[in-house]
Amino acid sequence: MTSRYSVALLFIILTTLFMAFTISADKSHDAGRIASDTLVYGYKALDHFVQLAGESKESLQIITCKLTSQKALETLVNAAQRGLDVDLIVDGNASRKAESFVDSAESGGVTIHRWNTKKLGKLHAKLYIFDRSSVMIGSFNLSKSAETSNFETFFHSRDKDVVDESLRLWRDLIEQTGG
């Protein structure tokens, strides 16, 4: 399946799930845990990522344009040091900018796949897969502005179909990066 069809199928699945569940900013936690199949919005998207990454036991698979948040960098490196497989697909141009922490993440044990923007165009997708059992899809990068000032949205799901389609998309994009 081509990436265009994978993205379209993922969009259809997410749209269907979005319409089927209550949208809530205040009910995004269930006993301290981020509820599944919930749209979360506001100024704390990065905090939710940090929480889910901290709860992960096996792997993090991430697609993001940039990594400019010190908090996100520490979360990724700590996960790698805990023995998790941490893989990051990042926009090749954004990863070379002075404010980027991509090289530091790589030095800290995170596997980096740089998206070839000359060949593939700008990478603007944001997808976070936790332990191959939970996904976040939304507007936020692992950026300083997402941490401190941006109003962001994301959809969190543990639905097997959403997770499986996200993993298919991940594998397709990994192939495109040559990794």
CATH number, domain of 156, equals 3.30.870.10
Mean pLDDT by 10 residues, the chain (179 residues): 60 52 39 69 87 96 94 97 97 84 96 93 94 94 88 92 95 89
Q: What is the pLDDT of residue 2?
A: 59
Strand partners for 89: 63, 113
Give the structural domain span for 124: 3-177
Q: What is the pLDDT of residue 28?
A: 41
Cβ(85)–Cβ(113) under 8 Å? Answer: no
The pTM assigned to this predicted structure is 0.81
Q: What is the pLDDT of residue 1?
A: 52
Helix, strand or coil for residue 101? coil
Q: Distance between CA atoms of 138 and 25, rounded to whole angstroms?
A: 14
* Cα pseudo-dihedral 27, 33, 37, 43, rounded to 10: 60
Q: Which of 79, 117, 121, 77 lies closest to 97, judged by CA?
A: 117
| Per-residue tokens: 66 | 């940039």
| Residue type (1 letter), 11 | F
Domain count, the chain: 1
Backbone angles phi, psi at 91, to 5 degrees: -60, 130
| Per-residue tokens: 116 | 């070839």
